[in-house]
């Protein structure tokens, strides 16, 4: 049986092939909402745009993040020359829907880019994200030209003291991070924190100078205002690019929240791993960048369908 067909309704397929019920380890975690406000939203069982709408409703709507006249950066994963069905990149329908929501909220401009791993133009085209983003009204810019990057200090960095960031991150009023939930051969999972390697120029420095520490360090420069983890399709093995659709499970999940460490912790549980077993998540928690303590957060769980 193909792994992508081995998904039972209402379950999560863990990295080791274990079936986890409903929201995985999120079921027994969290506090009631304070005055109706939630820290995290976890949605299962719907189409990708409908799950986004439910999640943002629980977080107070896009207007809680985007104000009239602001420039918004939407940063998906566009790193790989692969079609959407391979789940190597963020779902293009989700990216387009977020862009439209930001423009509806009054954003003056929405910019989309990624410093890709494979050839940039092929990644932009074959992921489906370039067309979807342009059709939705975004400005799509290259992340494959060093002239678009500028050097900044990383104030709390331990291994990463300086780095070159994309100019459209530097000028953005609002930063929305939209990774895909998938396996990664180096870090077990690639989620919100690791997706930010696509806003810097020199990723080789990360790999040569304690990858996990550098991933955490970057967040002392700037954290996204909103993190939306796309788990509609989940790459369960052979990440970060995958080999074929046999590596993909149709998970139909989405997690969103402000705290990047908490969001990644929740997504890691749904993947069948423990947050503190993922080095960059554990380090970011220890540095006080965010929290892995989901017990003390208000989590809205929504089951659709």
Looking at residue 39, which CATH number applies to its domain? 3.40.50
In a domain, 15, yes or no: no
Domain range for 214 is: 29-303
Indicate if the alpha-carbon torsion angle 226, 231, 237, 243 is positive or negative: negative
Element (H, E) at 26: none
Pairing assessment for the beta strands 174-178 and 139-140 based on DSSP bridges: unpaired
Element (H, E) at 226: strand 226-235
In a domain, 21, yes or no: no
Which residues neighbour 28 within 8 Å (Cβ) at sequence distance 6 or greater? none
In a domain, 69, yes or no: yes
In a domain, 158, yes or no: yes
Burial of 16 from C-beta contacts in 10 A (0-12 / 13-18 / 19+) = exposed
In a domain, 288, yes or no: yes
Element (H, E) at 139: strand 139-140
In a domain, 145, yes or no: yes
In a domain, 105, yes or no: yes
In a domain, 24, yes or no: no
Which residues neighbour 112 within 8 Å (Cβ) at sequence distance 6 or greater? 73, 74, 75, 76, 95, 99, 129, 133, 138, 139, 140, 141
Check residue 31 and report its DSSP letter: B
Q: What is the count of structural domains for the chain? A: 1
pLDDT (tens, 9 = 90+) of the chain, 305 residues, equals: 333 333 333 344 444 444 344 677 787 788 878 777 899 999 999 999 999 999 999 999 999 999 999 999 999 999 999 999 999 999 999 999 999 999 999 999 999 999 999 999 999 999 999 999 999 999 999 999 999 999 999 999 999 999 999 999 999 999 999 999 988 877 788 899 999 999 999 999 999 999 999 999 999 999 999 999 999 999 888 878 888 898 898 999 999 999 999 999 999 998 888 999 999 999 999 999 999 999 999 999 999 98
pTM: 0.93
- Tokens at residue 210, please? 């304690």
């Amino acid at each position: 049986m193909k792994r992508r067909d081995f998904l039972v309704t209402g379950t999560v397929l863990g990295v080791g092939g274990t079936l986890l019920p409903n929201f995985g380890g999120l079921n027994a975690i969290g506090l009631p909402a304070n005055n109706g406000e939630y820290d995290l939203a976890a949605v299962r069982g719907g189409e990708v745009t409908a799950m986004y709408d439910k999640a943002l409703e629980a977080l107070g709507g896009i207007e809680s993040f985007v104000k009239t006249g602001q420039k918004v950066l939407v940063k998906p994963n566009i790193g790989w020359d692969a079609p959407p069905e391979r789940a190597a990149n963020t779902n293009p329908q989700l990216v387009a829907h977020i862009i439209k929501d930001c423009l509806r909220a009054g954003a003056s401009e929405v910019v989309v880019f990624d410093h890709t791993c494979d050839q940039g133009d092929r990644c932009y085209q074959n992921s489906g994200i370039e067309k979807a983003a342009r059709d939705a009204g975004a400005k799509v810019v290259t992340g494959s030209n060093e002239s678009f990057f500028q050097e900044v200090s990383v104030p709390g960095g331990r291994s990463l003291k300086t780095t070159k960031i994309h100019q459209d991150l530097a000028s953005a009023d609002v930063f929305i991070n939209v990774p895909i939930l998938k396996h990664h051969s180096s870090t077990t999972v690639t989620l919100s924190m690791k997706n930010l390697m696509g806003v810097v120029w020199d990723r080789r420095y990360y790999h040569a100078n304690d990858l996990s520490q550098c991933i955490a360090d970057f967040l002392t420069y700037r954290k996204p205002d909103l993190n939306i983890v796309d788990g509609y399709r989940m790459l369960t093995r052979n990440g970060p690019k995958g080999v074929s659709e046999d590596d993909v499970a149709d998970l139909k999940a989405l997690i969103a929240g402000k705290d990047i460490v908490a969001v990644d912790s929740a997504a890691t549980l749904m993947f069948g791993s423990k947050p503190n077993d993922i080095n960059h998540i554990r380090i970011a928690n220890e540095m006080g960048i965010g929290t892995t303590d989901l017990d003390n957060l208000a989590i809205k769980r929504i089951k659709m369908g």
